[in-house]
Amino acid sequence: MRLRLGMLAALTGAVYAQSFEVASIKPNTSGSRNGIVRAMPGNQAYTAANMPLRVLIMVAYSLTDRQLAGGPDWLVSERWDINAKADRPYPTETLRVMLQRLLEERFKIRYRRDTREVALWELVSDKGGPKMPEHDPNDLDRGPMRAGANGRGLEGTNIPMDYFALSLSRMLDKNVVNKTGLNGYWDVTLDFVREQDRDQNGPSVFTALREQLGLRLVPSRGPVEFMVIESAERPSAN
């Protein structure tokens, strides 16, 4: 299965043409290292506070850090606040595509895609099937994945498996491809200790996935899309 930038293959041209009704982008000079970017509850707005453009691109296009290259140094060093509102509520996946369009237009981003055959993990269902609860399909508010209550692992509500695989990709040594065959949205709580923190007590991600969620990681190889930023400009005041 190919990992597509922003999963554009699943979205129609009409959806891609949709833009936020109003949007503000301003530099953040607070000096703080804390920031956030997410679709807001109600699914009619996207907000970012004190975020580098590099991270905003990763979120908008569903990329890991290793899938993004190029661009000027200020993509990392300078931080931005974004407040964008749509004309009505949309699914989170559509809002993310709208964020792509906003970044491309305001930062004048030019990029190319580069597909490479690489080692990766396949996320599959274990024997016995999933152990996590399925979420109400009528709830459009897709919560972000975040660290667990004890500061490690991952948890989130109303999560599609593609997004869960992406979240694992950002924590592991290789990209993770969703091959669970699980549709719908799930409430996920996964407690594990990352490889670099193995001095702590707790299960590895491989053990935790099997025992806590009924899933497994299987080593494989396949095509993964990378993004190379060729140029970007700071936005004009708005």
CA distances from 180 to 24, 51, 124, 220 (A): 39, 32, 4, 14
Task: Using the structure block, give the residue that is written with the tokens 């850090």.
Answer: 65
Question: What's the predicted TM-score (pTM) here?
Answer: 0.84
Q: How far apart are CA 238 and CA 225, in angstroms?
A: 33
Q: Please count the CA atoms within 13 angstroms of the CA of 238 that sit on its side-chain side.
A: 15
At 13 the three-state DSSP class reads helix
Q: Which residues contact 170 (CB under 8 A, 6 or more apart)?
A: 64, 65
Q: What is the pLDDT of residue 199?
A: 65
Q: What is the pLDDT of residue 80?
A: 98
Question: What are the boundaries of each domain within the chain?
Answer: 5-113+227-231, 116-223
Is residue 25 within 8 A of residue 41, CB to CB? The reply is no
Task: Using the structure block, give the residue that is written with the tokens 């005041």.
Answer: 237
Q: What is the pLDDT of residue 238?
A: 62
Q: Which tokens belong to 162?
A: 């593609």
Is residue 235 within 8 A of residue 84, CB to CB? The reply is no
At 231 the three-state DSSP class reads strand
How many helices (H) and strands (E) are present in the chain, helices listed first? Answer: 6, 10
Is residue 218 within 8 A of residue 113, CB to CB? The reply is no
Q: Going residue by residue through the chain, which has 238 residues, state the pLDDT in tens, using 9 for 90 and above.
A: 444 444 443 333 434 448 999 999 999 999 998 999 998 988 899 999 999 999 999 999 999 999 999 999 999 999 999 999 999 998 888 999 999 999 999 999 999 999 999 999 999 999 989 999 999 888 877 777 888 878 889 999 999 999 999 999 999 999 999 999 999 899 999 999 887 666 678 899 999 999 999 999 999 999 999 999 999 999 987 6
Q: How far apart are CA 187 and CA 144, in angstroms?
A: 11
Is residue 56 within 8 A of residue 37, CB to CB? The reply is yes
Task: Tell me how crowded residue 110 is: count the other CB atoms within 10 A of its CB.
Answer: 14
Which is nearest to 25 in space by CA: 40, 14, 34, 37? 37
